[in-house]
Amino acid sequence: MNNSLIIGQYVPGNSFIHRLDPRTKITIIFFFVFIVFFANNVPSYGVLVLFALTCMFTSKIPIRFIMKGLTPVWFLIIFTFILHLIVTREGTVLFELGIFEIYSGGLIQGFAISIRFFLLILVTSLLTLTTTPIEITDAIEDMLHPLKRFKFPVHELALMMSISLRFIPTLMQETDKISKAQASRGVDFRTGPLKERIKAIVPLLVPLFISAFKRAEELAMAMEARGYQGGDNRSKLRELQITKLDIFGYIIFVLVIAVLFVTRTYG
């Protein structure tokens, strides 16, 4: 199993960030994604970085764990940095590197884009690290509620989302189990020519599909047997609630935006 990818993995905890209402977190991240693009100078980037790092520290998730989880993303960040460095032709020429001329504008641009990228990924992975998938779907269902007026199947969509999220770990386990069973029968998933390796996937995929379909059928039957009916009259086990914490969170975020615009204009 791929343990290095942490996006989508929830780490239980009881920090301020964990206890925020998922709607608050989603709203803040939604606006954060926009304001990241408003930063235009060192102080304004500083404000954003400070905000993101503060969130990270308050979440009490081990920093080493977050950083290790971002390893696949580091490559992308560095790649965009180098691309900007080489391609941008603004400002003064700093030095020549083989056939490339490195411009000061390129350096700045590269840094700016990499920081934006890093911030976006850090903040969004903090969302999934501190919020259970169920909370996220509940929040999305609640936030999409106005669309109901236009006959948009909000509840069904949320149900589909939570079911598929629920079954991701199950499918991963299943994949692990079947690939081990087939490896014991002599399948080699890791080495050998590409053609052979593609062929080796069939004994993995067929049992996986069969069990997924079977599981879906059983789930549907179990839901029907218990008289499941979606819709307006259905109550929830966990009601989402906006608390003082959330108001505090919003206030801080609005302050961050305010400071950002001040530094952007006068910094």
Partner 1 sequence: MDITFKNVTYIYQKNSPFEHKALENLSFHIPSGTFVAIIGHTGSGKSTLIQHLNGLTVPSEGEVHIGDFKLTNDEKPKNMKELRSKVGVVFQYPEHQLFEETIAKDIAFGPQNFGVSEEEIERRTKEALRQVRLSEELLERSPFDLSGGQKRRVAIAGVLAIQPEVLVLDEPTAGLDPRGQKEIMDMFYNLHREAGLTTILVTHSMDDALKYADQILILNKGTKFMEGTPIDVFRQKEALQSVQLDVPEVVQFLTSFEEKMGKPINFSNQSIDEIATSISEIVKGVE
Distance CA 120, CA 128 (A): 13
> What span, in angstroms and rounded, lies between the C-alpha atoms of 180 and 58?
39
Q: Does 185 bind partner 1 (CB under 8 A)?
A: yes
Nearer to partner 1, 11 or 252 (CB): 11
Taking the complex as a whole, the smallest distance from the CB of residue 207 to partner 1 amounts, in Å, to 5
Least distance from partner 1 to the Cβ atom of residue 9, Å: 9
Cross-strand bridge partners of residue 101? 96
Count, residues near partner 1 per rule CB under 8 A: 25
Residue with Cβ nearer partner 1 (53 or 181): 181
CB of 203 to partner 1, least distance (A): 5
CA 86 vs CA 5, 80, 93, 230: distances in Å: 29, 10, 11, 55
If one asks whether residue 3 binds partner 1 (CB under 8 A), the answer comes out as yes
Closest to 263 measured CA to CA, from 114, 86, 51: 51
Q: Residue 265 burial (CB < 10 Å; 0-12/13-18/19+)? A: exposed
**Interface positions, 155-174, toward partner 1 (CB under 8 A):** 174
CB closer to partner 1 out of 92 and 184: 184
Told to check if 195 binds partner 1 by CB under 8 A, we report: no
- Is residue 181 close enough to count as binding partner 1 by CB under 8 A? yes
- Determine how many CB atoms are found less than 10 A away from the CB of residue 220: 11
CA distance 144 to 142: 6
Interacting residues with partner 1 between 58 and 97 (CB under 8 A): 61-62, 64-65, 68
The interface with partner 1 within residues 202-231 (CB under 8 A) comprises 202-203, 206-207, 210-211
d(CA 87, CA 122): 26
Nearer to partner 1, 210 or 219 (CB): 210
Residue 136 CA, chain-centre distance (Å), reads: 11
Per CB under 8 A, the segment of 104-112, 160-168, 199-207, 220-228 that binds partner 1 is: 199-207
Q: How far is the CB of 217 from partner 1 (least distance, A)?
A: 14
CA pair distance 76, 72, nearest whole angstrom: 7
Report the candidate in 155, 116, 149 with the shortest Cα–Cα distance to residue 34. Answer: 116
The closest of 215, 217, 141, 207 to 179, measured between CA atoms, is 207
Q: Which is nearer to partner 1, 144 or 178 (CB)?
A: 178
With respect to partner 1, which residue has the nearer C-beta, 57 or 79? 57
In the bound state with partner 1, the residue whose beta carbon lies nearer, of 98 and 186, is: 186
- Residues within the interface to partner 1 (CB under 8 A): 3, 11, 61-62, 64-65, 68, 174, 177-178, 180-188, 202-203, 206-207, 210-211
